[in-house]
Each structure stands twice: as C-alpha cells, then as structure tokens.
Chain A
Amino acid sequence: MSDYILEMNHITKEFSGVKALDDVNLKVKKGEIHGLCGENGAGKSTLMNVLSGVYPYGTYSGDIVYKGETCKFKDLKESEAKGIVIIHQELALSPLLSVAENVFIGNEQTSMKGVIDWTATRKKAQEMLAKVGLEHEDVNVPVNSLGVGKQQLIEIAKAMAKKVDLLILDEPTAALNDEESKKLLDIMLELKNHGVTSIIISHKLNELEYVCDALTIIRDGHTIETLNKGVDEFTEDRVIKGMVGREMTNRYPVREGVELGKVIFEVNNWNVYHPDDGERQMIRNINISVRAGEVVGLAGLMGAGRTEFAMSLFGKSYGQKISGTVKINGQEVHLNSVKDAIDSKLAYVSEDRKTYGLVLIDDIKHNMTMAALRKFFSKKGVVNANDEIVSAEEYKKRINVKANSIEQTVGSLSGGNQQKVVLAKWMLTQPDVLILDEPTRGIDVGAKYEIYCVINDLAKAGKAVIVISSEMQEIIGTCDRVYVINEGEIAGELNKDEVSQEKIMQCIMAHNRKGGE
C-alpha cells in the first residue's frame, strides 16, 4: 500500500506534566536513510525511545504504524522482534567479552538449549563483521581492545545479527574522528543498498547532508518540517533555520544596574588530554577571561568539551597532562585539587547534580554545607551545628528551596529544588568565580526562572559567572558574552548584541569545516 515502512502519528509524551513530545509526526520511507535533527532536549531521543518500546505503549498517546500494522510495543524485546534495533550513544557492549560474544549477546548461537555453539558463533560473527567492513577483524579479542570507531561498527554488526529492518542510530559519530565517521556513514549507505532502512540522529549537519534522503527537524517537542533530498533545499543553513527559528519570549529576568568590574578570572593556553588516553587532546589552547559582575556563556553542542574544560580547571578533576595558567583576582593560582580550587574562591556546579552534586540520602542542611564545612562551619575538626542550621535556613529562604524543613532528605526534592541546594552549597563556599554547568537541565520553567534570578544576583554581587549550557536560548538569554566551543577549541566569541542561535551554529559549522579539511 504505502511506501512508508514507518509512520509515527500524533505522538505525545509527557513527563510529569511537561510535554517532551507534542503531536509529533515522523514518516520514514522503506529503504531510505532518514535524519532526525534538533537542539539538545528537543525530543529526538524521546521519540526514538517511544518507537523502540523503552517507553511502553500506554505511556504515550498517538500511534505507530510499522510495515502496515499498528504496533504496541511493551518493551525493547518486542520491537527488536519486529526488526527495529536502536543503537544508543553510549555503547552497550560488554568490554571484556570477545567480539563474537558481543555480536550475539542476548541472541546467542546455541546448539542445545542454553549451550553455546562456539563454532557457529565465531563463523556467523565473522559474516556479520564483513557486512560492516570489518572482515579482517579477529572475533576472539576482547571488545575493549578495539577503538571506539570499530566498537560502534560492532554495535551495528550486533544489530545485523538480529535481522534488522529498521536501524536507529543515536549520535553514532559523536565520539568518532572524521575518518571513522566517514567510514561509518559509508557503511550506512552500503546497508541501504542491502535494503536496510535507517534513522540517524546527529548534530553534525554536514554528515546528515551526506547520508540522508530525508530529514525531519524537531524543535521543542514539535515536528517542524521534513526536508527531502532533491525536492527541498537541503543545506546546513536551511536546516539551522528550521532548528532554531522560534520567537523569544520573556523567559529570562532582566539584569539591571550591574557594573562590570576588572577581569577577575583569566585562563590562558589551557590544554588537556583525555584521562585514559594521553595521546588524545580534549582541550586545545583555550583562552578566556571573565570580569567581575559579568556572566559569560560557554556555548556548544554536547561533547564539545565544555564540561571537560571546566572540570579540568576545577582542581584537575578531569584529564591529564594539563597545562596553562589560571589567574583569579589578578593572581596566578595553581589548582591541583578541588580543595585548592575552593580555597582560591572558584566554584563549579556540576551538570549532573545527582551523581556529582548531592548526597541524595542526606538532608538539605548537610548537603548545603558540605563543601564549606571545613572552612566556615568547623573549628579544629568539630562542626558548629548551630551556624550550620542558621546558614542553611538563610539560603533556603534566599533562593526559595521548597521543602518542609532543612532536615528533609535531598533525594525527595524535585529537580529544581535539588539544583537550588547545589547552588546554595557552592554559594556557601563564598566564591568569586562560579562555573555553572547546565544549571537548568531537567527542571521546569518556573524553577529555571528562579535559577536565572540567582545568576543575576551573583552578578550583582560582583561575582564572575560562567554558564555552560547546551540550550542556546538560555545562553543568549542570560549571558553578557559568549564563547563558542567546539571540539575542545574556541570556535568564536560573540558579544551580547551580536549573539544569536544562527551565529552560534555558524561558528560551530565553520569550525567543523576547518577541522575537516
């Protein structure tokens, strides 16, 4: 009947009241490579999780028609049985098992029930590898002895072993270099010739332009448009326009009456290498400076190296072979540990509050004072519990943490209130420079506004604030100046009057092209 292998119609998915997807439509033709693009948080991955059954039927509304029949997947296994395989950004390989074992993991080649047929496993693994251009690879070596690029291909081989009809790749090239990316994309084209339909999610628009037959743009949980190769204009500029073209509303409080002071934070020639791979340079010659009272944004796509940069500054919490100089208040400082950083009045609020920010089983009071305990809330190793209570109460009021009391367990708070607790924790260390990494990730609009107010207050108090965010709107709305970072380098610097989403994307694209050549 139709030439569509997949139709997702009017998909709406809510997370505790917030619509992550709102009436999204996606139609994929049989045998094509369909690109899916949009900003971080636009809903791409959510959509794919709906499709593959990670979010089971019933938790979303709308319907999925696959190969002409309506599907109601309860879990990943059901969608896989139909030939839909999703490969996530984080590889799902068991690092110490061999290549052959990984290819057939969960899908073992068995002779009798439960007994592995090693000959068949190895032989068939070889066949699958041949399909992804790895015919010369030894299937007996552990997977972690191979590079990331090859591991990504092994993921695809694993999908092939499951008799895939529709392959979904979520940012497959994010961790790959250009050569590896090219190879992977060529394999995709090769698979297409064998009749496999693919959906690829990527931020690298040049790659999408290269492989895709059609491209659907998602923004804020809505489908904006679908562009077809040969029919519509199919260029990066056109796609960027679709990705970011929305109007600004008053989502950011105005910052008034802040006088910019002297430069109080300065980083020069900052270089960092990957913690496990001393050859791989993650940060290359970054120079930034921030003035007192200034809010500076670090814009860029996920994986651009912003978090790595910030953490390497913060007492060398990331990377190795770190070189460069840091000046705080005009003085060069050597931050060899987090303690040094705190003592030098630098604070870093992590992007992942649950893993790196909070002790979830402990209460608000203890979490707030954790980083400042040594300096401000104790004498000779004995905690001053009264001061602690007073300060915790003060900050709870000041930044409006909604909780019954400061004794409430942090794990029971909402994301927005947890984020406020983390902010309070770092404000209590009395820093002059604050790096806020994705300060509003995963929190609702109201709480976001309150966090922006806190940022304004910090600027008014003469602090230097650095905001890292993948939401360009947020960067534009909150920052006086923006550094665009791409692949560990500064790709551009934009002032408030010239910054726009298009400008930021252009910086990134220009930098990508330069790197590619």
Chain B
Amino acid sequence: MSINIKDVLKKYTMVFALIAVIIFFHAMTGGKMLLPQNVNNLISQNAYVFVLAAGMLLCILTGGNIDLACGSVVCFIGGIGAVIMDKNIGFVFAVIVMLVGGILVGAWQGYWIAYVKVPPFIATLAGMYAFRGLSNVVLQGYTVGIRNEAFLKIFGGGADCYIPDLFGSGSFNMTCLLLGIVLVVIYIVTTMKGRISARAKGYDIPPMYSVLIKMIIISVAVIWFFFKLANYKGIPTSLIWIGIVLLAYAYITTNTTMGRYLYAVGGNEKATTLSGIDSRKVYFFAYVNMGLMSGLAGILTVARATQAQPTFGQGYEMDAIAACFIGGASAYGGEGNIFGIVIGALLMGVINMGMSIMGVEANYQKVVKGIVVLVAIIFDVLSNKKKK
C-alpha cells in the first residue's frame, strides 16, 4: 500500500484549510491570534458548538436530518436548571433534571420524526418555537442568576474556571502540560498496538513512514496546544466535558452497532430496513441523543454565563449544523465523523475569533461565516458528483 499525496490532500482538506486560516489570522492580527489566552478562549467560548455538533452529527448521519430546536432547548433546559438552583435545591438534582429533561425533549421530537414520519425539519422547527416560548415561561422573562459554587466549578462557571495545578503555583501550569504528554503517550501506544496486532493477523497496513508522519504531526499539535493552555491558566473545565463527549461519540460512531446503523440508514434506508434493522429506532436514538447533548450544552452555557436568560442559545443550532457540514458530514447522510466536526467547529471558532480580534464589524462576520459554509457544501456536492 502506498500513500497518494492527492488522496491525503483530499481527505484532510479541511485540516489544511484550518491551518491556512490560523496562519492568515496570525499574520493579520500581529500574532495575537495564538496568544495562550486566545487559544484558551477558543475552547471555552465554543464548548457548546462541540457538544451540540456531536449530537447533530448523529442526526445528520441518518440522512442529512437536522435539529433546528437545539438552540431553544439549550435555553429551556438551562432555564429549568437555573430556576431549580435559585430555589436552593441541590445542584446534583438540578443537573439530573436538566439531563433527563434533555432526553425527554429529544424523545418528544424523536417520536414524531421516527414513528409518525414528520419531516425532521418541520418537527424541530416546531420545537424551536415551542421551547423558546417555554424558556420564557420558565424564566418568566427574567434573567435568573446562578450562585451554586459547586455547579459553577464543575461546569466551567464564570468563564474563568480551570483544573487546579497540582504542582503548586507559578505562571506555568505543569499539570496541564503533563496531561498533554500523557494523552500523547496513550495515543502512540494504542496506535502502535493496533498496528502490531493488525500485522500479526495479516491485514494490510499502511507504510510505517506515513504512520510516523501522522503520529508526529498529531503529537506536536497536542503538546503545542496544552503548552499554550499551560501558559495561561491551565485546562478550562469545559475542555474536560468536550473531551468526554468527543471521545464517547467517536467510540459510538465507530465501534458500536448503533453507530454502524446510523451510517447505514443514511446511506440507504431501504436496504438497511431489509437487513433487519428497524430504522425507526435509529432515528429515535439520534434525536433522543441530540436532546441529551442539548441538555449538556444547556448546562455548560448557563454555567459559563453564571445565569440563564430567555435569549440564550439563539443561533446555536446553526453553529452546530455548520460545524458538521464544514467538517465533511454529507448533507445527504451516511458520511461524516467526529474528527471532522472538531475541525469544523475549530474552523468556525477561529474565523469568529480572528475577525473579532481584527475588529471586523459583526455584520460582516456573519457574511464571511455564510460564505465559509456555502463553500464547504459546494465542495461536498462537487466531490459527490465526481464519484458518480
């Protein structure tokens, strides 16, 4: 097996685009883009995008189906949690209610979509209105503050919440860098182990040099990233949640039967049904799961803001959808992966941040974002056409 440069370029187009955009803004902002604080902000500001995009990816996999309601659900769930905590009921209870609430909302929408065959666009459009309205009802139109310390600490409260440094003080956070190193070691060990066992079983394996190149690039990127974070205040708590969600969903999409069914239904629903797979359950799963992610995003959003407002979450659904499509999820379903949405979310985040630092007017920022999404989709459509 040899490596074709063209294939690599095609497979990782968005990664190269991301690098190009980072370099562009780095130059345009006089190096401000990659200041440790900004790297940190990139993660914590966009936590909700990663979480919602993970949920959205599963919906999109089933056939390009989206959830327009998740922004409203984020606000609704966040509102419920804030109100509960405002009444001085324990935060554990509040968190459980918020997650279960998310699941119920997902089940509500999933039922109509999967079993009654309401088109997802319409079912979730209805949800978008309804849950926005309910958010207002829950919050009675006011802002509700959150003072529960434990809740704020765990979920990244006040936009200034980090994993404490185990090695005492100092401006450099050693714990953070160590975590990065540990992750890299785990990554290298598992890759090599997989490679050795694959060779033992006689499977085709890619050549060593390509694996090494990939490994070095990823390791350097991870260490660099954690080094940057260590130079600011360390690991933002939201990064832990993002990490858990992304790892869990990478596992679900690649290693479970349900993950496989999501791709199969999106690729050809009729063939999947005739293979003994109940496609209704697959749709239902995708939307229940989307509800759960909306719940988690709701928690992270109100924790970051230390309050809940009836206007929270507006446009979040679009950010999640955009991250998925930019990250290579097919608008027709059956294609896309977690790695892709990470790149998609980062690309959107970098563009947002870069333009803000440059002082581009907000309205023009939207125009640029729109163009980025369009270009990504055009790319998807054209590459699909060529395949045929």
Contacts and interface: CB of A to CB of B under 8 A. Distances in A.
Interface of A: 314-315, 317, 337-339, 341-342, 348, 350, 355-362, 366, 370-371, 373-374, 378, 381-383, 385-386, 389-390, 405, 411-412, 425
24 contacts: A314-B274, A338-B275, A341-B276, A350-B274, A355-B271, A356-B270, A356-B271, A357-B271, A359-B264, A360-B268, A362-B264, A362-B334, A370-B260, A370-B264, A374-B276, A374-B277, A378-B257, A381-B256, A382-B255, A382-B257, A383-B257, A385-B255, A386-B201, A411-B387
Contacts of B272: 359, 370
B280 to A, nearest CB: 11
A337 B278 contact: yes
B257 A342 contact: no
A390 B201 CA distance: 9
A359 B274 CA distance: 12
Nearest to A315: B276
Contacts of A359: 263-264, 267-268, 271-272, 334
Contact of B257 (A358, A360, A381, A386): A381
A360 B335 CA distance: 11
Interface string B312-356: 000000000000000000100011000000000000000000000
A361 B335 contact: yes
Given A370-B272, A425-B275, A361 B255 contact: no
A308 B202 CA distance: 44
8 tightest A-B contacts by CB? A359-B267, A371-B275, A338-B276, A339-B276, A359-B268, A342-B276, A378-B257, A370-B275
B273 interface: yes
B270 A355 contact: yes
A318 to B, nearest CB: 10
A307 to B, nearest CB: 12
Interface of B: 201, 203-204, 255-260, 263-264, 267-268, 270-278, 330, 334-335, 387
B216 to A, nearest CB: 24
A348 B334 contact: no
A383 B264 CA distance: 14
A389 B274 contact: no
Nearest to B261: A373
A373 B271 contact: no
Given A337-B276, A359-B264, A362-B264, 13 more contacts: A314-B274, A338-B277, A339-B278, A359-B263, A362-B334, A370-B271, A370-B275, A370-B277, A371-B275, A383-B259, A385-B255, A386-B201, A389-B203
Nearest to B259: A383
B133 to A, nearest CB: 34
Contact of B267 (A348, A361, A382, A386): A361
Contacts of B273: 317, 338
Contacts of A341: 276
Nearest to A355: B270
Contacts of B268: 355, 358-360
B163 to A, nearest CB: 30
B334 A361 contact: yes
A389 B199 CA distance: 13
A290 B196 CA distance: 48
Contacts of B267: 359-362
Nearest to B201: A386
A357 B274 CA distance: 8
Contacts of A337: 276, 278
Contacts of B275: 338, 370-371, 425
A182 B26 CA distance: 79
A350 B256 CA distance: 26
Contacts of B335: 361
Given A357-B271, A359-B334, A371 B255 contact: no
A203 to B, nearest CB: 27
A358 B271 contact: yes
Interface core residue of A356, A385, A386 (most chain B CB under 10 Å): A356
Contacts of B201: 386, 389-390
Given A361-B334, A361-B335, A386-B201, A338 B274 contact: yes
Contacts of A360: 267-268
B333 to A, nearest CB: 9
A218 B328 CA distance: 50
A383 B271 contact: no
Contacts of B334: 359, 361-362
Contacts of A371: 275-276
Contacts of A411: 387
A15 to B, nearest CB: 17
A389 B205 CA distance: 13
B257 to A, nearest CB: 5
Contacts of A425: 275
Contacts of A350: 271, 274
Contacts of B276: 315, 337-339, 341-342, 371, 374
Contacts of A382: 255-257
Contacts of A362: 263-264, 267, 334
A348 B271 contact: no
Contacts of B257: 373-374, 378, 381-383
B274 A356 contact: yes
A494 to B, nearest CB: 30
Nearest to A375: B276
A412 B255 CA distance: 25
A516 B125 CA distance: 54
B271 A381 contact: no
A373 B260 contact: yes
A238 B269 CA distance: 46
Contacts of B258: 381
A195 B263 CA distance: 56
Contacts of A390: 201
A317 B263 CA distance: 22
Contacts of A361: 267, 330, 334-335
Nearest to A374: B257
B315 to A, nearest CB: 31
Interface core residue of B255, B273, B275 (most chain A CB under 10 Å): B275
A355 B330 CA distance: 19
Contacts of B264: 359, 362, 366, 370
Nearest to A343: B276
Contacts of A405: 204
A126 B257 CA distance: 58
B364 to A, nearest CB: 37
A358 B271 CA distance: 6
